[in-house]
Amino acid sequence: MSDTLAIKCRRALRQCGLDRLVVAGGVSANEPIRHNLRKVAEKEGGRAYFPRTEFCTDNGAMIAFAGALRLEAGERSGMAIETRARWPLSELPAIQ
Protein backbone atom coordinates (compact mmCIF):
# COMPACT_ATOMS: atom_id res chain seq x y z
CA MET A 1 0.00 0.00 0.00
CA SER A 2 2.77 2.42 0.90
CA ASP A 3 4.45 2.00 -2.49
CA THR A 4 1.20 2.48 -4.40
CA LEU A 5 0.40 5.64 -2.46
CA ALA A 6 3.92 6.95 -3.06
CA ILE A 7 3.63 6.35 -6.81
CA LYS A 8 0.29 8.14 -6.98
CA CYS A 9 1.52 11.08 -4.92
CA ARG A 10 4.65 11.43 -7.08
CA ARG A 11 2.46 11.42 -10.18
CA ALA A 12 0.12 14.03 -8.70
CA LEU A 13 2.99 16.33 -7.71
CA ARG A 14 4.46 16.12 -11.21
CA GLN A 15 1.18 16.53 -13.07
CA CYS A 16 0.14 19.50 -10.96
CA GLY A 17 3.58 21.09 -10.87
CA LEU A 18 3.55 21.27 -7.07
CA ASP A 19 6.28 20.84 -4.48
CA ARG A 20 4.18 20.44 -1.33
CA LEU A 21 2.44 17.26 -0.28
CA VAL A 22 -0.09 17.47 2.56
CA VAL A 23 -1.18 14.16 4.05
CA ALA A 24 -3.99 13.84 6.62
CA GLY A 25 -6.42 11.32 8.07
CA GLY A 26 -5.73 7.92 9.53
CA VAL A 27 -3.17 7.02 6.86
CA SER A 28 -0.95 9.92 7.93
CA ALA A 29 -0.28 8.24 11.30
CA ASN A 30 1.50 5.33 9.59
CA GLU A 31 5.27 5.82 10.01
CA PRO A 32 6.36 3.78 6.94
CA ILE A 33 3.93 5.80 4.81
CA ARG A 34 5.22 9.06 6.28
CA HIS A 35 8.79 7.99 5.54
CA ASN A 36 8.02 7.00 1.93
CA LEU A 37 6.03 10.16 1.22
CA ARG A 38 8.75 12.37 2.69
CA LYS A 39 11.24 10.71 0.32
CA VAL A 40 8.87 11.20 -2.63
CA ALA A 41 8.40 14.89 -1.88
CA GLU A 42 12.14 15.44 -1.39
CA LYS A 43 12.97 13.69 -4.69
CA GLU A 44 10.49 16.05 -6.38
CA GLY A 45 12.25 19.04 -4.81
CA GLY A 46 9.55 19.61 -2.23
CA ARG A 47 8.36 18.74 1.21
CA ALA A 48 5.66 16.58 2.80
CA TYR A 49 3.52 17.90 5.64
CA PHE A 50 1.74 15.80 8.26
CA PRO A 51 -0.36 16.70 11.30
CA ARG A 52 0.80 15.62 14.74
CA THR A 53 -0.11 11.96 15.21
CA GLU A 54 -2.77 12.72 17.83
CA PHE A 55 -4.68 14.51 15.07
CA CYS A 56 -4.34 11.65 12.55
CA THR A 57 -7.65 9.95 13.07
CA ASP A 58 -9.86 7.83 10.94
CA ASN A 59 -13.19 9.42 10.04
CA GLY A 60 -15.13 6.44 11.45
CA ALA A 61 -15.75 8.27 14.74
CA MET A 62 -17.02 11.33 12.84
CA ILE A 63 -19.40 9.20 10.79
CA ALA A 64 -20.70 7.45 13.92
CA PHE A 65 -21.26 10.81 15.62
CA ALA A 66 -23.14 12.16 12.59
CA GLY A 67 -25.32 9.02 12.65
CA ALA A 68 -25.98 9.46 16.38
CA LEU A 69 -27.09 13.05 15.77
CA ARG A 70 -29.49 11.95 13.05
CA LEU A 71 -30.87 9.19 15.27
CA GLU A 72 -31.31 11.67 18.12
CA ALA A 73 -33.13 14.01 15.70
CA GLY A 74 -35.65 11.22 15.05
CA GLU A 75 -34.45 10.04 11.66
CA ARG A 76 -35.12 6.36 11.01
CA SER A 77 -34.71 4.15 8.00
CA GLY A 78 -34.81 0.48 7.12
CA MET A 79 -31.84 -1.81 6.93
CA ALA A 80 -31.40 -1.36 3.16
CA ILE A 81 -28.60 1.01 2.26
CA GLU A 82 -27.40 2.58 -0.93
CA THR A 83 -23.63 2.41 -1.35
CA ARG A 84 -21.76 4.79 -3.59
CA ALA A 85 -18.06 5.35 -4.06
CA ARG A 86 -18.56 9.10 -4.02
CA TRP A 87 -21.54 10.71 -2.31
CA PRO A 88 -21.47 14.52 -2.27
CA LEU A 89 -22.48 15.99 1.08
CA SER A 90 -24.70 18.43 -0.81
CA GLU A 91 -27.01 15.48 -1.58
CA LEU A 92 -27.38 14.52 2.08
CA PRO A 93 -30.42 16.17 3.66
CA ALA A 94 -29.62 18.47 6.57
CA ILE A 95 -30.64 17.58 10.10
CA GLN A 96 -33.72 19.61 11.03
Residue of 12, 7, 31, 32 whose CA lies nearest to 22 = 12
Paired with 43 in beta bridges are none
CB 14 within 8 A of CB 41: no
To which H or E segment does residue 49 belong? Answer: strand 47-49
Confidence label for 96 from pLDDT (cuts 50, 70 and 90): low
pLDDT, position 68: 92
pLDDT, position 94: 77
| pLDDT 10s digits, 39-77 | 999 999 999 999 998 888 777 878 888 889 999 999 888
| pLDDT 10s digits, 5-18 | 999 999 999 999 99
CB 56 within 8 A of CB 26: yes
To which H or E segment does residue 48 belong? Answer: strand 47-49
pLDDT, position 44: 95
> Is the pLDDT score of 2 beyond 70?
yes
Paired with 49 in beta bridges are 22
Q: What is the mean pLDDT of residues 20-49?
A: 94
> Is the pLDDT score of 1 beyond 70?
no
